[in-house]
Each structure stands twice: as structure tokens, then as C-alpha cells.
Structure 1
Amino acid sequence: MPDAGSDSGLSPVDLDLRVVRYFVAVAEYGHFGRAAAALHMTQPSLSRQIRGLEKQLGAMLLLRTSQGSRLTDPGQAFLIHARTMLATAARAAAHTRAAAAPHTITIGYTTNLVIGAAVRELRRRHPDAEVTTRHLPWNGAHPAVTEHVVDIALTRLPTPAEGVEIEVIYQEPRALLLSREHRLASRDDVELADIADEIMPRVSDPVWDAFWRIDPRPDGRPAPDGPVLDDAADLFDYLTAGDAVLIVPADSRVPDLQPELTTIPLRDVSPGQVALMHRTDESSSLVRDFGDCARELLEPGEPSPRRR
């Protein structure tokens, strides 16, 4: 009966991942001397390790030349699997570390999102866990998750998806943020046609900018361009001047902090989405449980009452 870990009854081979890493280094540098220096070992020792790997596999992997080294056909074939083996080993180590320390979690949340109810429930379910939270900039969730600053984050979409898993938790209507002195400020609601020619400030993230400015518009026209303003204070100052508008989540709390500004429901546009994000293939029990708490307890906030 074949080993449960083998493919189609093939004989198992005990490969030393350290030597596999040595081989990948030589393949990538194309030179034994440069690879040895990068690996902080001597060239003769590296050569012995590679010869031992070739003997174990029964194939020459590298041709030594006067200019350096190059892969043979068997070497090219093995390189594909060698990289996969090293990546799999790294993921296995990360998963093991996460499982070994399930009592610590850092939860991120971006501007104007509220996670208090879900955090309190997570702490109730795991009274011995160390649960910390971290406020992130509007576009800070993806780098914070991928760079291990936080373990999971609640954020608005769109956002980069490389290296992360994203799950939409709820949708929220969109509204128009504008000065109380703007010509539309007295309206009960507006449609996209009402702001067809209104200038909107931009942000440097092109995907986010296109979604929140609705650019291009449904008729194919580009949204009128305004200045690029990534800083919130600069953005609010620009809107307060009264000559521009901005599309925001309907429950934006900005008018509570900036009384010169107000929001008006925007009726004929698709809603925004709020989502959880965590690293791909890396999820501790606390990350999974916080996801459950978020799905159960988090929902769109109520828009701030309009003050005439």
C-alpha cells in the first residue's frame, strides 16, 4: 500500500530544504561564488551540497562554466518544484506559529468605521485573549495586513487584493458631502445628474478614485477633475470653500467634526461595500472568531441628522 504522502506510489525522497534553498540560490544567481556569498558560506561547501543533491536526485542540475553556471533541463524542471517546496514550507511555518499563539490579535479599522460591538463580543468569548485595535488611514488596510501590522482589518472597498482574502460584511448607501453654502445644500436628496458638472477632489489611488467619484459616469463622460487631496484636513478645507462636492458613505461622521459641511443622500448610485481582510492562507482561531462576530454584529451606521 503506497505511503499516504506519496504520489501514485512513487518512492519517497527525503530532501533537505536547506540544500534545496542552496540550489535555488545558485540557479537565480547563475554563479556559485555569488550564491555562496549571499548564503554566507564557502564556495567549496556549496558545491559539495549541490553535488550531494544531484546524487540524491540522480540527475545533473547545473552545468559549471567559465562564466558561472547554468541550469540543465533536469535543473529547470526541479527549480519549479524547488520554489514550490520552499513557499509551502514558509506557509506551513506561518500557520504553525499562528496556531501556537492564538491568544493575541490586532484588529485594524479604517476611517469612520466602528468595530466596538464585534471587539467586545470577541473579548467576551475569549476572556484570556489579548485583543488590541488599531486605527488605519482610509487606504491603510492592505499594507497593514500584508506587512503584519494587524491580523485582520475592517475597510471600505475597493482595495488591493494581492496576498489577502476579502469578505464583504455589509453594504452602505452613498451620499454627497458638501459645504452648507453650496447651491445643493438645501436639497433633501440628489441624483448623479444633479452633480454632472460639479468638481470633485481626487485621491492618488486610481481604483478608489474611480469608484468614489464614479469616473467615468454612466453616459461615458469623465467626472470633472479637482485637485489631488489625500490629506483629510486639506480635503475638508477645500470642500468648505463651497465650490466642490465629494461622494462619501451615507453614515459619514464628517459633519459632526466639520459643522461647515453636510451630507445629502445620493439616490441613483450603487452602494459602497465594507469588508473584512486578512492574509491569504493565514487565519488563527481569533481571526476566524472575530470574523464571526463582525458578521453577526456589524452593520451600516445611521447618517448624522442634517442640521439646516
Structure 2
Amino acid sequence: MTELDLRLLQYFTVVARHGNVGRAAAELRVAQPSLSRQMQRLESQVGARLLDRSARGSALTAAGKVLLSHAEELLRAAERAVIEARATTEPDRLVVGHTGNLVVTPVVRELRRRHPEAEIRTVAVTGPVADGLLAGRVDAVIARLPLPDDGLCLDRLHDEPRALVVPVGHRLAGRTSVELADFVDEPLARYGDPTVDAWWRVDPRPDGSRAPDGPLVGALGNKFELVAAGEALLVLPQRPTSTGFRDDLVAVPIRDVPPTPVVLATRSGPPSPLVAEARALARELLVH
């Protein structure tokens, strides 16, 4: 069986990304001659030359390209294996994440009551939910779909209707509800993630047509500014009140689009006792 040092494999992915051993060594905080020797060791383990070295840098050989195509998945699989192995123990620590305006407090409060000796923390998750879970930075996250299901376990809790956010003076602001046809030609603010963007802008539409593109903005507050300025509209979860955002905006329910599922996302595989209990409590306390 071929022996492969995962540390060398990680070094290799950094060298491949930079195309230069010197820059890779600076990122990895190792000496350049040492990193060059490590790459030679990896080539010896693989049994093939992986890098074409020249004064201009280090380019991947055909063998190097093949190895790189598998290396990142191998590293992720190793990380998941360690996380799942740790989950079989009796941990006294749990990190619960929340996104948007979703509330996970009832679950956390009950866990703390049942396990006063455990360290149970909550954090706001601003980056990709899957990345935080698979990297072990959080153990459970309440979030809205769409989310990738590869490597995740998703417990569906409830659904949220979607609403169209428009400026107060907009032609649709006084409506009690709207349909897609009512704003078919209106540009909608876009999200950076293609899957998330397609869901919230309903793109493509049921008839196959594409949603008009609006500005690409990362921060939610900036999207509100765009809507208030009349540059784009926005589709978001419907809030309990008719506005729910700010005084110069109105949220109008959309009748003919499916609601957005709210889930508790955890890593797939055997859960730790605290994670299993958090999932059960979420199904008990957050389903409505």
C-alpha cells in the first residue's frame, strides 16, 4: 500500500496554488530549502515528478495535476474523519451557530440547564455554513436553505414565506401580496453564491426566463440601501410585521413562490451526545 504523508500533501496544494516555492514557503512559514526537500520527498512517495522547476516558478506536471485533483478532497476527508472520531467521545463543549435573524436561544438555554458543567457557546455565522461545520468551528447551525447536503445532516424545522422588499413609494408598496408576474422585469439584488442567488431571485423563473440582474452586494445593509434608492428590489424571508426592516421599506408577501425551509445543520456521521441532544431539542422547541 502506498504511504502518503498528509502534511506533505497539504504543502503541495499550497505550492500548486502559488506556482512558486518561495511564496508557498512564506505562507507556510517554513524555510524555502526545507519546502523544496519536502516536495522531493512527496515525489518519492508518489513515484512521479510533480513539479517542473524553473527560474520562473514551479509548474505542475501531468502527474502533479492528477494528484492535485484529488489532494484537496483527501485533506477534507481526513479532517472529517478526525472530527467524527472526536464526536464519539463525551465532549463537554458545544458551539451553536445562528444566521440571519434566526433564533436558537431556546435550544441553547435548555442545554445549559441540563448540562451546567458543559461549555455551550453561541456564535453568529457570517461565512458559508458548510465551511464552518466541516472545519469544526461550529457543531450545529440554525440556517435557511439552500445549503449543500454533502457532508451535512439537515433537520427541517419550519418554513418561512418569502416577501418582496420595495421602497415605500414603489408601485407595489400598497399591495397586500404580489406574484412573480408583478415584478418580472424588476432587477433584484444579487447574492455572491450562485445557489443562494438562484433561490432568492427565483432564477430561472417557472417559465424558464431569467431574472433581471441587479447589483451584486455582499452586506445585507447595503442591499437595503440599494432598495431604498430605487436601484433594485430584494427577496427576503417575510418578517412578522408588514415592514420589519426600516421605515422607508415595505415587505410585501409573494404568493406564488415556495417558502424557505429553516433547518438545524450539523455534520453527517455519528453525532456527539450533545449534538444529538441539540438536534432533538431543535425538533421539539423550534418546529412550528
TM-score, length-scaled by structure 1: 0.67
| Distance 1:130-1:222 versus aligned 2 partners, 3 A rule | same
Q: What is the CA distance between 1:89 and its match in structure 2?
A: 8.2
Q: In structure 2, how many angstroms separate the alpha carbons of the residues matched to 1:254 and 1:147?
A: 39
Q: Given the alignment, which residue of 140, 148, 151 partners 1:163? A: 151
Q: What corresponds to 2:38 in structure 1?
A: 38
Structure 1 stretch displaced more, 145-154 or 95-104 = 95-104
Q: What is the CA distance between 1:204 and its match in structure 2?
A: 1.2
**Is 1:203 paired with 2:191?**
yes
| Distance 1:124-1:93 versus aligned 2 partners, 3 A rule | same
Q: Which has the larger radius of gyration?
A: 1
Q: Is the 8 A contact 2:189 2:223 kept in 1?
A: yes
Counterpart AA for 1:219: D
**Matched position secondary structure for 1:294:** helix
**Is 1:189 paired with 2:177?**
yes
Q: Is the 8 A contact 2:89 2:272 kept in 1?
A: no
Q: Is the 8 A contact 1:215 1:222 kept in 2?
A: yes
Q: Is the 8 A contact 1:141 1:154 kept in 2?
A: no
Q: In structure 2, how many angstroms separate the alpha carbons of the residues matched to 1:295 and 1:178?
A: 34
Q: In structure 2, how many angstroms separate the alpha carbons of the residues matched to 1:253 and 1:205?
A: 28
- After superposition, give the CA deviation of every residue in 1:87-135 in whole Å (9 maximum; x if it has no partner): 9987665444333352100001111111111211222222222110011
**Matched position secondary structure for 1:293:** helix
**Matched position secondary structure for 1:262:** strand
Q: In structure 1, how many angstroms separate the alpha carbons of the residues matched to 2:196 and 2:83?
A: 31
Q: In structure 1, how many angstroms separate the alpha carbons of the residues matched to 2:80 and 2:194?
A: 32
| Distance 1:119-1:159 versus aligned 2 partners, 3 A rule | same
Structure 1 stretch displaced more, 189-198 or 249-258 = 249-258
- After superposition, give the CA deviation of every residue in 1:206-228 in whole Å (9 maximum; x if it has no partner): 11111111111112211111111
Q: What corresponds to 1:78 in structure 2?
A: none
Q: What is the CA distance between 1:165 and its match in structure 2?
A: 2.4
**Matched position secondary structure for 2:165:** strand
Q: What corresponds to 2:21 in structure 1?
A: none
Q: What corresponds to 1:289 in structure 2?
A: 277
Q: What corresponds to 1:242 in structure 2?
A: 230
Q: In structure 2, how many angstroms separate the alpha carbons of the residues matched to 1:285 and 1:144?
A: 20
**Is 1:180 paired with 2:168?**
yes
Q: In structure 1, how many angstroms separate the alpha carbons of the residues matched to 2:252 and 2:76?
A: 50
**Matched position secondary structure for 1:162:** coil
Structure 1 stretch displaced more, 97-106 or 178-187 = 97-106
**Is 1:114 paired with 2:107?**
no
Q: In structure 1, how many angstroms separate the alpha carbons of the residues matched to 2:216 and 2:240?
A: 20
Q: Given the alignment, which residue of 186, 201, 222 partners 1:213? A: 201
Counterpart AA for 1:192: L
Q: In structure 2, how many angstroms separate the alpha carbons of the residues matched to 1:106 and 1:279?
A: 13
| Distance 1:252-1:282 versus aligned 2 partners, 3 A rule | farther
| Distance 1:299-1:198 versus aligned 2 partners, 3 A rule | farther
Counterpart AA for 2:106: A
**Is 1:154 paired with 2:133?**
no
**Matched position secondary structure for 1:100:** coil
Counterpart AA for 2:118: A
TM-score, length-scaled by structure 2: 0.71
- After superposition, give the CA deviation of every residue in 1:113-172 in whole Å (9 maximum; x if it has no partner): 1111121122222222211001122x5312211222111111111123333222322212
Q: In structure 2, how many angstroms separate the alpha carbons of the residues matched to 1:144 and 1:89?
A: 16
Q: What corresponds to 2:18 in structure 1?
A: none
Q: Size of the alignment, in residue pairs?
A: 245
Q: Is the 8 A contact 1:199 1:245 kept in 2?
A: yes
Q: What is the CA distance between 1:21 and its match in structure 2?
A: 4.1
Q: In structure 1, how many angstroms separate the alpha carbons of the residues matched to 2:251 and 2:193?
A: 23
Q: Is the 8 A contact 2:155 2:279 kept in 1?
A: no
Q: Is the 8 A contact 2:90 2:273 kept in 1?
A: no
| Distance 1:194-1:227 versus aligned 2 partners, 3 A rule | same
**Matched position secondary structure for 2:211:** coil
**Matched position secondary structure for 1:211:** helix
Aligned pairs for 1:1-308 (under 5 A) are 20-21=3-4, 37-38=37-38, 93-137=82-126, 140-251=128-239, 255-281=243-269, 283-299=271-287
The percent identity for this pair of structures is 38
| Distance 1:119-1:226 versus aligned 2 partners, 3 A rule | same
Counterpart AA for 2:86: R
